[in-house]
């Protein structure tokens, strides 16, 4: 369950930041890069900040 929530949040962040980059300012692409970098590091280290945040909010794995 939690993995699906993390993937959904990451996908939403990426799509929203891309729309903001198109319609507002290209600097929003830095946010897209940040999300991508966090996804990459979580695949290597098996630790994800969003997992920690969701656990503290009470979302069960």
pTM of the model: 0.86
Summarize pLDDT for 4-33 with one digit per residue, the tens. 999 999 999 999 999 999 999 999 999 999
Locate 6 and state its tokens: 């993390």
pLDDT value at residue 60: 83
pLDDT value at residue 30: 98
Percent of the chain past pLDDT 70, that is, above it, reads 100
């Amino acid at each position: 369950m939690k993995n699906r929530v993390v993937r959904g949040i990451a996908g939403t962040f990426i799509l929203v930041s891309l729309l903001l980059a198109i319609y507002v300012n290209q600097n929003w692409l830095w946010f897209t890069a940040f999300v991508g970098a966090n996804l990459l590091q979580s695949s290597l280290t098996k630790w994800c900040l969003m997992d920690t945040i969701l656990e503290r909010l009470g979302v069960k794995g």
